[in-house]
Structure 1
Amino acid sequence: MTETEPEGVAPDSWISCRGCRTLVYGRRLADNFHVCPQCGYHLRLTATQRLAQLLDEGSARPLPVPESVEDPLGFTDSRPYPDRLADARSATGLDEAVVCKEGTICGHRIIVAAMDFRFMGGSLGTAVGERITLAAEAALERRTPLLIVTASGGARMQEGILSLLQMARTSQALARLDEAGILTVSLITDPTYGGVAASFASLTDLIFAEPGARMGFAGPRVIEQTIRRPLPDGFQTAEFLLEHGLLDGVHGRSTLRPLLAKILGATGNSHHWRVSRERESPTVLTEPEALDVTDAWEAVRGARSNRRPTTLDYVEMILGGFQELHGDRIAGECPAMVGGIGWLEDTPVMLIGHQKGHNTRELAARNFGMARPQGYRKAARLIRLADKLGLPLVTLIDTPGAYPGIDAEENGQSVAIAENLRLMSRLSVPTVAVVTGEGGSGGALALALADRVLMMSGAVYSVISPEGCASILWKDAAAAPEAAAALRMDAASLLEQGVVDGVIPEPPGGCGADPALAGERLGAALLDEFARLAEQTDEERRRARYERYASVGRQAPSRTEKNVLKATPEPAR
């Protein structure tokens, strides 16, 4: 019987799972990607096994292996460092703790650097740093995405400060890929600690992890000794990291190839996006006279209806191959803000939006669509990624406003919203924002500084809620209907004021009465708008976006003002 690890195990042997101690037949374990069929525990893989599972059969080609200085310090503890290297090489059949190859995943080109924990704990030494750096340089030269599979206990102490400096070396290499707009992805496997966690593992555009994988800078034993109290359950596991905003997702081993193929397919040709769409009749209404006059308070109540489609409902209706991404990489995950990459017909896009729900349980879980700073920072991260990869940006707005809580203020709500506004103002990629329901205050505007701003005909958009306005100015929240009328927050009024560029007609009875038709109209409107924006250069879009908001307050008179002017007789000459 073999304890826990699959490498070198004969197919007819039995293996004891570390997770549940169940005996698993070797052949069954191999057929299940070395994941325990009883408890789902992911046994460690060798670098060779990992590459074989991820890359298309026959596609893998090794990258050149550079010569590196061994034992730069002449280090000896209980044994000379060269002897330890020799033992690791004999035991693993590898010459170092990382294997770098180029190949394809479902036909998509990629360069993969896979670490192997068996080789001196996957420690980061000069040779590992050199190979990670060369893999990044190869990705830069070939303009090919880079995937790094991590498994490490930290820096290699036998190489002293030279090992520590590999953190800077590899981080610098990834920074060049950022500047070049090349996708980078980390796959965190168990364990990933120390210098690897604090450098290239955490610097990629997307970070996924296997279930139960642990990652951190300091190990749990060191932390417990330092703080002198027990650690929370699941501390530093993938699930813990996802909850705290440090991962994009946790995915079982059998789903990794399809996941990576989906991401690579959506980002591989995104710099050359083009949209072509012809219609006999306009999808979007641009004249206020074409819209029915509605009671302002009724419009507010309709926009807040739980029957209206949410952002994720629209995603399901208008996008193909959507991959939701999580986390702000700083403090947490905000369920009131969702985002990810998907296909709008033949165009890969980044979509970000507020998320509410259809019942009390869903609304509470999503904080009623009121995002915390973590949500706006997540949005900012995805906005930057869209700009880096050349993905058109869609934002869907449906929120009463940003969450007004103590923790939100402590974590910098104002700063997070301000950063989103600055980011969106200077994007190179085309952006279309749509108010799908309730557009409340700065929490809505944080996603609405776009090239084109649309709204559903039953949506509303305002500086403050009618209740808030009534409480402050009328000194009575019951005056909300009067405040709603005075704020002119309905679609026709906003189109008239030039706040929005167009209005998407809702189905009879509103979007909640026929969500499928609402989704069809939204998708068609987005395609039309992106087709128009595709005719402009990046600089033309940036300039037009600047001029759009620079002219706010200098708009032409409203329809009411025009009527007054027409009715006023000219003075005698």
Structure 2
Amino acid sequence: MTTTPGPVRAGQDVQWRRCASCGAFIYGKRLDRNRKVCPECQFHFRIPPDVRIDQLADPGSFEAFPEPGPPRDLLGFTDSKPYPERLRDAQARTGRADAVLAGRMTVRGRPVITVVLDFSFMGGSMGTVVGAAVAAAARTALAERTPLLLVAASGGARMQEGALSLMQMAKTAQAIAALREARVPVVNLNTDPTFGGVSASFAMLGDVVLAEPGSLIGFAGPQVIRNTIRQELPAGFQSAEFLLEHGMIDGVVPRETQRETLARLLTLLGPSVPELPEPTAPEGEFLLTRPVPAVRTTRETVALARTIDRPTTAEYIGYVFDDFVSLHGDRSHGDDQALLGGLARFGGQSVVVIGHQKGHDTAELVRSNFGMPHPEGYRKALRLMRLADRFGLPLIAFVDTPGAFPGIEAEERGQSVAIAECILELSRLRVPVVSVVTGEGGSGGALALGVADRVLILQNAYYSVISPEGASTILYGTAEHAGRAADALRLTASDLLRLGVVDGIVPEPPDGAHTAPHTTALTLKSALAHTLTPLLGRSGEQLVAARRERFDRFGDLDLQPVVDWENDDEH
């Protein structure tokens, strides 16, 4: 909508736009400078494909593919006007043969094949020409092994082309499947609106799925839903933010940071230089491979592992890695704040990072459920494990949880299945896996991130089949004997090293990691680099075989060595 509030003198050329969200009138040139985003409320105006390309691509880098052939009226379809007439109107209005623009470009120097839908052409609907253009771009990406970016803005399948339009959902989905099998990255950027046959096919199948703020995204449109179920829809329903909360997308990215976010993703998903940070100290200073004398009781160690000031996974990520892009959601229910994950850079090597997340105050702890994931948290971890395997990226896991959440909702949504699938998936990943217990290592909820080639533990962390309080309650009928149970469980770092459950101990400052979090993180960084380096040269088959052998030996006296550290004797 273009309007000019107030009197305009002759010769004046003043363009104003009224924001559909807040009602503010915005000077056109100011709106253009602000990437078509309302400066008052951040509402994202719809933009045509060429403007989208200008905002994302390096200047002058976009080369359009040849225009697809014009769509045909194969059904002889007529509603209030014949389909050919609708096509002619849309073509005259947009200057485009159909609702799609495709080509190649670079983003911060990274090449990418790009497809952008044009909502102003019959609502960006997907007919045979759009489907063919998406599939052709995917085939080009596959042939050149170049990432594919899909920018959607669509009302869905084009009804004027009937079942042939419906078949484009399968055509585009199988094109994405070929890229997935070939480990070629696919990134979705969904904008307002993205619905129907587009959202239920290529628009939600990327390795990473992003959305613009406020965009409406879903299968059925709001009006269709209202008319079908006869209910009022909740505030924010089907918005990008709603989808993020419900685990359907990885992030909501404002227009001003989309180019940078896309460049980071292309870098992290692209070829890596297998060079890890050099350790900054002798090995004995950042990784201990022999038990250390106890300086506190087991109960005191457990208390220290649980202290609210202890560094969280988010803090370790900030200190240890050079870049990190957080990814979200399990693609089926929610985005569990108790499980953090994403893509990171570790020296010259891209990695996938997952970890339990806690907090330092009541608000953070409640938001993260005190580090106890629901099934959707473990399913998010499972999705990221598979992402690591697909792109050949090492996986680094941070373990710090009292255990998986033992609640009604968790049981209803399949807590056991989610944990079991994580354990199974880790056992078969063809990439290096390193886990580090940074605080609490509680039962199966910890092991879901702990099936690794190498397992490290911080000096004052613990790892156990059950909490001391739980063991005491079961064995003695009361939690009062938790200290006695803790001693019996042999859950300290040195105990676990003797048992072979962990491979090394990462030293902490005398009074605990929380007294010097940055120093502890740098020590851990050296330990991770030292541990991961020899694993990078192993094949997927070697990694899987050795990992399975590692866990096969536990409890089998014919396979598991028993080490007497005091006498340096192994038998």
Give yes or no for the alignment of 1:556 onto 2:557. Answer: no
Q: Contact 1:284–1:502 (CA<8 Å) still a contact in 2?
A: yes
Give 1:570's aligned residue.
Answer: none
- 1:472 has 2:477 as partner: no
Query: What code does the residue aligned with 1:28 have?
Result: R
Deviation at 1:328, TM superposition (A): 0.6
Offset at residue 63 of structure 1 (A): 2.0
Amino acid paired to 2:203 = A
- Percentage of matched positions with identical amino acids: 51
Residue 485 of structure 2 corresponds to which residue in structure 1? 483
Alpha carbon RMSD of aligned pairs, Å? 1.9
SS at match of 2:400: strand
Question: What is the identity, as a one-letter code, of the residue corresponding to 1:450?
Answer: A
* C-alpha separation in 2, matches of 1:560 and 1:441: 26
Q: Please say if residues 124 and 166 of structure 1, whose CA atoms lie closer than 8 Å, have aligned partners that are also in contact.
A: yes
Cα drift, residue 12 of structure 1: 3.7
Provide Cα deviations, 1:467-506, integer angstroms capped at 9, x if missing partner. Answer: 0010001212111000000000000000000000111111
Shift of 1:563: 10
Q: Offset of 1:517 from its aligned partner?
A: 0.8
Equivalent positions of 1:40-439 (< 5 A) are 40-67=42-69, 70-270=72-272, 273-275=274-276, 277=278, 280-282=282-284, 283-288=286-291, 290-292=292-294, 294-439=296-441
- Residue aligned with 1:527, SS: helix
Out of 69-78 and 470-479, give the one that drifted further. Answer: 69-78
Q: Tell me the distance in 2 between the aligned counterparts of 1:28 and 1:276.
A: 45
In the alignment, is the contact (CA less than 8 A) between 1:140 and 1:177 conserved in 2? yes
Distance (Å, rounded) in 2 between the aligned partners of 1:474 and 1:11? 85
Residue of structure 2 equivalent to 1:2: 2
Paired residue type of 1:286:
T
Distance 1:276 1:348 in 2: 12
> Does structure 1 retain, via aligned residues, the 8 Å contact 2:70–2:98?
no
CA drift of 1:159 comes to: 0.5
Q: 1:98 to 1:536 in 2, by over 3 A?
A: same
CA contact (8 A) 1:293 1:492 kept: no
CA distance in 2: counterparts of 1:464 and 1:212, whole angstroms: 44
In 2, Cα distance between equivalents of 1:137 and 1:435? 43
SS at match of 1:233: coil
Contact 1:11-1:25 at 8 Å conserved across structures = no
In structure 2, what is the Cα distance between the partners aligned to 1:276 and 1:561? Answer: 34
Q: 1:569 maps to what in 2?
A: none
Question: Residue 388 of structure 2 contacts residue 431 of structure 2 at CA under 8 Å; is this kept in 1?
Answer: yes
Cα deviation 1:300-337 (Å, max 9, x = unaligned): 11100111100001011111221111111100110000
Distance 2:553 2:14 in 1: 75
For residues 165 and 129 of structure 2, the distance between their equivalents in structure 1, rounded to whole angstroms, comes to: 9
**Offset at 1:78?**
2.4
Q: Distance in 2 between matches of 1:3 and 1:302?
A: 64
TM-score relative to the length of structure 1: 0.94
Q: Is the Cα contact below 8 Å between 1:215 and 1:238 reproduced in 2?
A: yes
**AA partner of residue 2 (structure 1):** T
| Equivalent residues of 1:352, 1:396 under 8 A apart | yes
CA contact 1:400–1:465 (8 Å) conserved in 2: yes
Q: Deviations over 1:28-70 (max 9, x none)?
A: 0000000011111100000111011100111111124443651
Aligned partner of residue 216 in structure 1, secondary structure = coil
Counterparts in 2 of 1:325 and 1:36: CA distance versus 1, 3 Å: same
Q: Identify unmatched segments of 5+ residues in structure 2.
A: 5-11
Per-residue deviation, 1:287 = 1.5
**Quick one: structure 1 residues 72 and 562, their matched pair in 2 at CA, closer, same or farther if it must change by over 3 Å?**
farther
Looking at structure 1, the residues matched to 166 and 567 of structure 2 have their Cα atoms a distance apart, in angstroms, of 70
Contact 1:68 1:126 survives alignment (8 Å): no
Per the alignment, residue 7 of structure 1 pairs with none
> In structure 2, what is the Cα distance between the partners aligned to 1:273 and 1:208?
28
Q: Distance in 1 between matches of 2:378 and 2:274?
A: 26
1:512 alignment partner, SS class? helix
Give the superposition deviation at 1:429.
Answer: 1.2
Alpha-carbon deviation of 1:266?
Answer: 1.3
CA gap 1:269/1:291 in 2 versus in 1, 3 angstroms? farther
Once the two structures are TM-superposed, the CA of residue 421 in structure 1 deviates from its matched residue by 0.8
Measure, in 2, the Cα distance between the counterparts of 1:462 and 1:558.
Answer: 20
Secondary structure of the corresponding residue to residue 514 of structure 2: coil
CA contact (8 A) 2:298 2:487 kept: yes
Which of 533, 538, 546 pairs up with 1:531? 533
Q: Could you list the per-position Cα deviations for residues 440-463 of structure 1 after superposition, in whole angstroms to 9, with x for gaps in the alignment?
A: 000000000011110001100000
Quick check: 1:11–1:27 contact (8 Å CA) kept in 2?
A: no
Q: Is 1:492 aligned to 2:497, yes or no?
A: no
Letter paired with 1:162: L
Match of 2:7 in 1: none
Deviation readout 1:274-314 (Å, 9 max, x if unpaired) = 447466434311112x4546421111111001111000010
What SS class does the counterpart of residue 85 from structure 2 fall into? Answer: helix
Would the aligned equivalents of 1:12 and 1:27 in 2 still touch at CA under 8 Å?
no
2:212–2:254 contact (8 Å) kept in structure 1: yes
Stretch of structure 1 that moved more, 61-70 or 241-250: 61-70
Does the CA contact (< 8 Å) of 2:339 and 2:356 recur in 1? yes
CA distance in 2, matches of 1:165, 1:528: 51
Distance (Å, rounded) in 1 between the aligned partners of 2:13 and 2:423: 57
Task: Choose 12-21 or 424-433, whichever is displaced more.
Answer: 12-21
Name which of 20, 24, 27 aligns with 1:18. 20
Does the 8 A contact of 1:3 with 1:18 survive in 2? Answer: no
One-letter code of the match for 1:499? V
Q: What SS is found at the alignment partner of 2:486?
A: helix
Give SS of 1:131's match: helix
Aligned residue type for 1:378: K
Letter aligned with residue 552 of structure 1: F
Provide the C-alpha distance between the structure 2 equivalents of 1:213 and 1:62, rounded to a whole number of angstroms.
26
- The answer on whether the counterparts of 1:274 and 1:534 sit within 8 Å (CA) in structure 2 is no
Letter in 1 for 2:289: T
Please say if residues 277 and 531 of structure 1, whose CA atoms lie closer than 8 Å, have aligned partners that are also in contact: no
Does the 8 Å CA contact 2:277/2:346 hold for their aligned counterparts?
no
Partner SS, residue 437 of structure 1:
strand
For residue 283 of structure 2, give the secondary structure of its aligned residue in structure 1: coil
Question: Contact between 1:344 and 1:523, CA under 8 Å: does it hold in 2?
Answer: no
Quote the Cα distance in structure 2 between the aligned partners of 1:132 and 1:423: 32
Which of 520, 523, 527 pairs up with 2:522?
520
Counterpart residue number, 2:8 = none
* Structure 1: runs of 5 or more not aligned: 5-9, 567-573
Q: 2-side partners of 1:100 and 1:408: how far apart?
A: 44
